[in-house]
A and B are shown apart, each in its own frame.
Chain A
């Protein structure tokens, strides 16, 4: 210390320098340190804000799709209109198109309004009828065709309100926007408010969002995810059934049996490559080979399932190999020592111990496959599908949709109501993904072993 005072003094002339006060350079360096640290925190904050913003945007746009506005009215199923021949014959009743049912609903709504003593100022009966979705008549027709004996009775129906009316209660449609809108008028919104007060128009949980099929451009209120959920489930089934055995078999071969030669090198390089190929290229593969060459049907879950299987394989192989590697050699040696063959030591001892790791990898691979969109667009999964596919295995070959593709499909439509539907579908998709990841995490925790 004496040296310091002796040699350090000339620099700071006359200034008494305390060791506790920092000089200019140190202060600068410390400031730089603080800035750098802050930069790191800012980057982390950006990432987390982006995540939160993303989720918040999807939730705020999509949560409302789980609610739907319904109009409950008693409809008189007029035999004169629905069964003009009076025979009660099914074929004759089926000849009445949905247009034949629309006036019944229009009249029923008019009657309900009159019964409650509400005024529908400035609205024609037709405009009043437009409060109810165009889906209503079709629903009514299906109901009658299912059981023709109801003709002549008065039945209470929960009918979907028109998309714009529904949007009014979700904040998408306002009085101002209604003035400019050809599909809805402010007077109709006033009437809807009156109906709501009278209890005819109610907003309740939207089960049909999960069960019904997609609907046409003009009926966003009727569009549902039913076929997309089934299609996704079929594809996941195919991916699981194919990619898990093939992936595990490949991993066992490479990890336990394969000699080190050019052939196994080739396989390894291929697997690493496949993991990095853009997903859309797999779609091209499906289109060119599976649809055009092998002749599998377009838009079918079997093609989507096969394409996604090929995409998922690298993930499963990589996870399985590390799970196999984690099983200590002493287990294998012990099995071989008591006379088991190599195959027995693997299938009876190593594989069961590696199973939790393999399953975790499989679930993560499946989760990725569930959210994949681009390759499915190319194999025609984007087509409009109205009919539910049959049960497996026939259903694998029939047209279906898939959750992410349904989202894409809805974003391509004009009516803003479909954006709500798309966001709602994404919430469903994310819930599935979170559930799958939870299972993977629990599996890993539950079976995690230290050797």
Chain B
């Protein structure tokens, strides 16, 4: 049965439970002449929550776990004999899944046409044409063993779905009367219902932890797999990045790190002085009216999606730099370059620097400024010699945050910086970054056994660690500094 129908069913049961529970509480209280402990609605809520919550949790767990468990079972059915030369076990599994899904489509199409087809009666010989007829194209010939595995896969999924429907609905149907008969005017229904709600609130807050566990877990596991087939020292210390489809790739991270570092550096060279000057101007010179116009305008730069900057780099900035700077100076002829991406990214992170610095400059106490004015300093001298030094740690924090933003940025470099991995100093050359390579290694047909794909996880882990460190340091500095004047 469809998952959405199961959910609707459980919710319907919960609604029935609510009405029944409420009514029973009212009638019992009238019968026994006792006042209810809680409002009647709470008795309904108690029944509804006991009916729905465990059933829905079971459903979620089942949906998450059925796939890995079935995969594990089916994997065992495929012997090494049916894995083609140079192929991988996981590819065969992908075939199994595709055929398995195709069988379901086939069955549905047949059911629509009024025919009743027994999937078990199909065999490997006629499956190709049958699947093609249902709109599913198969690549190579299907070995009998793979087809058997696909049939088993289909059967397992069907069985699991059936079992899940029964289990979830049974849990809900079973819980309803259990909760119902416990209703009594003495029952502290409000406390029960509220502790349920509190538990739900607490479980929700675990999502953040689970996300982090998911990120770190998937990155570390796949990176470990990667390092079992590709030596770690080659990854970290090789200066050659040259992935090959047929294996024998050189996957050194250094050129990518260099590109990342170079692009980020250029963007910071642009964003830090400009962002800082904007912050100084807005907090020290601009009147309230100018500020109310300029500040939102600058912050708009942060709200624009990065793909827009990417297109801007690709269509406008790249060709402009090539035609007006690179070619006349004889430095290169590529429209995607480190400078293009850095320039555009610099514009993107200006508001990060300016907003954060603005806050920090505003936090410098007025007394410091007044003291400086009293000694006869001009406003700019006060800013340069008193305000900025006082705000320096906070500004450093802001710059670090901007740097981590620049390192993790993807779309601008994908569209602006190019894809050739090299260690070069010329800013008009196309180079590439860690994020670009994560995208290019993981898009297209992915097969999760080759080092060429798995390297993306190692790159992701590296990126995650670098940005995490920068963020932690930055937040530490910003927090520590902020406390000083309070």
Q: A residues within 8 Å of B by Cβ?
A: 29-30, 32-33, 35-37, 39-44, 46-48, 50-51, 53-54, 57-58, 61, 245-246, 249-250, 252-254, 257-258, 266-267, 270-274, 276-285, 287-289, 292-295, 310, 313-314, 317, 341-343, 367-368, 370-374, 377-378, 380, 382, 393, 404, 407-408, 411, 419, 422-423, 426, 429-430, 433, 437
Asked if residues A292 and B448 are in contact (CB atoms below 8 Å), the reply is: yes
A40 with B438: CB separation less than 8 A: no
B194 touches A341 (CB 8 A): yes
Set A270, A367, A371, A393: member contacting B208, Cβ < 8 A: A270
CA distance A370 to B303 in the complex (A): 11
13 additional A-B pairs beyond A39-B277, A44-B298, beta carbons within 8 Å, are: A37-B380, A43-B278, A47-B350, A270-B212, A278-B464, A281-B460, A284-B218, A295-B66, A342-B194, A368-B303, A380-B443, A393-B4, A426-B308
Q: Do A407 and B311 form a contact, CB below 8 Å, given A44-B298, A51-B300?
A: yes
Closest 5 CB pairs of A and B: A278-B408, A371-B305, A40-B281, A295-B67, A43-B277
Determine if A30 and B305 form an interchain contact, defined as CB atoms under 8 angstroms apart: no
Nearest Cβ on chain B to A172's Cβ, whole angstroms? 13
- Do residues A277 and B467 form an inter-chain contact, with CB atoms below 8 A? yes
Give B441-481 interface residues, CB cut-off 8 Å to A: 442-443, 446, 448, 456-457, 460, 463-464, 467-468, 471, 475
A84 CB, nearest partner CB in chain B, Å: 24
Q: Which one of B75-83, B113-121, B196-204, B249-257 is at the A interface? A: B196-204
With an 8 Å Cβ cutoff, the count of chain B residues facing the other chain is 93
Residues of A within 8 A of B202 (CB): 253, 257
B68 near A293: Cβ-Cβ < 8 Å: yes
A/B interface sample: 13 pairs, CB < 8 A: A33-B380, A54-B304, A257-B198, A273-B212, A277-B215, A280-B435, A288-B222, A289-B214, A310-B207, A373-B307, A374-B410, A407-B311, A408-B415
B301, A343: Cβ atoms under 8 Å? no
Give the dominant DSSP class at A's interface: helix
User: In the complex, what residue of chain B is closest to A26 when comparing beta carbons?
Assistant: B378
Give the distance in Å from the alpha carbon of A272 to the alpha carbon of B311 in the complex.
Answer: 30
Q: In whole angstroms, what is the CA distance A429 to B226 when docked?
A: 38
**Interface members, chain B 12-56 (any A CB < 8 Å):** none
Contacts of A43 in B (CB 8 A): 273-278, 281
Q: Check B410–A419 contact: CB distance below 8 A.
A: no
* B residues less than 8 Å from A36 (CB atoms): 380, 383-384
Residue of B nearest to A50 (CB): B347
Interface 1/0s, chain B 368-384, versus A by CB < 8 A? Answer: 00000000001111011
Asked if B404 and A276 sit within 8 Å, CB to CB, the answer is yes
A299 nearest CB across to chain B (Å) = 11
Q: Which single residue of chain A is at the shortest CB-CB distance from B377? A: A29
Contact B312 A253 (CB under 8 A): no
Interface membership of B394, Cβ < 8 A: no
B443/A46 in contact, CB under 8 A:
no
Chain B residue nearest in CB terms to A46 = B274
Chain B, range 180-226, C-beta contacts under 8 Å to A: 190, 194, 197-198, 200-202, 204-209, 211-212, 214-215, 217-219, 221-222
**A426 and B307 within 8 A (CB):** yes
A285 to B275, CA, bound (A): 33
CA separation between A39 and B304, bound complex, in Å? 26
In this complex, the member of A50, A250, A313 whose beta carbon has the largest number of chain B beta carbons within 10 angstroms is A50
| A267 and B307 form a contact (CB under 8 A) | no
User: Contacts A54-B308, A371-B306 known; A378 to B281 CB distance under 8 Å?
Assistant: no
Nearest A residue to B446 via CB reads A287
B residues with a Cβ closer than 8 A to A are 4, 63-64, 66-68, 71, 97, 190, 194, 197-198, 200-202, 204-209, 211-212, 214-215, 217-219, 221-222, 273-278, 280-282, 285, 294, 297-298, 300-301, 303-312, 314-316, 347, 350-351, 354, 378-381, 383-384, 401, 404, 407-411, 414-415, 435, 438-439, 442-443, 446, 448, 456-457, 460, 463-464, 467-468, 471, 475
Instruction: Please indicate the chain B residues that have their CB under 8 angstroms from the CB of A57 in the complex.
Output: 312, 315-316
Q: Which of chain B's residues have a CB closer than 8 A to the CB of A61? A: 315
Taken together as a complex, chains A and B put the C-alpha atoms of A289 and B404 apart, in Å, by 25
> When the two chains form their complex, are residues A373 and B312 in contact, meaning their CB atoms are under 8 A apart?
no
Please determine whether B460 and A284 come into contact, CB atoms closer than 8 angstroms.
yes
Q: Is the CB of A285 within 8 A of B471?
A: no
A284 closest partner in B (C-beta)? B460
Which interface residue of B197, B215, B273, B457 has the most chain A CB atoms within 10 A? B215
Given contacts A288-B457, A294-B63, contact A54 B443 (CB under 8 A): no
Contact status B411-A373, CB under 8 Å:
yes
**Contacting residues, chain B, for A310 (C-beta < 8 A):** 207, 211
Q: Are A280 and B310 in contact (CB under 8 A)?
A: no
Query: What chain A residues lie within 8 Å of B354 (beta carbons)?
Result: 47
The smallest beta-carbon distance between A274 and chain B, in angstroms, is 6
Known: A54-B347, A288-B222. A40 touches B305 (CB 8 A): no
- Contact partners of B211 in chain A: CB under 8 A: 270, 274, 285, 310, 313
A252 contact set on B, CB distance < 8 A = 201
Q: Which residues of B contact A267 (CB under 8 A)?
A: 205-206, 208-209
A404 to B412, CA, bound (A): 13
Question: Are B310 and A408 in touch, CB under 8 angstroms?
Answer: yes
Query: Chain B contacts of A380 at CB under 8 A?
Result: 443
Instruction: Contact check, B378 vs A377: say whether CB atoms are below 8 A apart.
Output: no
Question: Which residue from chain A places its CB closest to the CB of B467 in the assembled complex?
Answer: A278
For B66, B212, B381, B415, which residue has the most chain A Cβ atoms within 10 angstroms? B212
Check if B443 sits within 8 Å of A41, measured CB to CB.
no
Chain B residues lying within 8 Å of A246, measured Cβ to Cβ, are 204, 207
Q: Is the beta-carbon distance between B294 and A48 smaller than 8 angstroms?
A: yes
Contact of B218 among A51, A289, A393, A433 (CB under 8 A): A289
**B residues less than 8 Å from A53 (CB atoms):** 316
Among residues of A, the one whose C-beta sits closest to the C-beta of B282 is A44
Give the distance in Å from the alpha carbon of A288 to the alpha carbon of B221 in the complex. 10
How far apart are the CA atoms of A37 and B382 in the complex, in Å? 13
Flag if B298 contacts A47 (CB, 8 Å).
Answer: yes
Q: Among B4, B200, B282, B380, point to the contact of A249 (Cβ < 8 A).
A: B200
- CB neighbours (8 Å) of A367 from chain B are 303
Q: Contact between B305 and A404 (Cβ–Cβ < 8 Å)?
A: yes
Q: How far is the CA of A409 from the CA of B298 in the complex (A)?
A: 29
- In the complex, chain A residues whose CB is within 8 Å of the CB of B205: 249-250, 253-254, 258, 267
Q: Report how far A433 CA is from B439 CA in the complex, Å.
A: 25
Residues of B near A373 (CB, < 8 A) are: 305-307, 310, 410-411
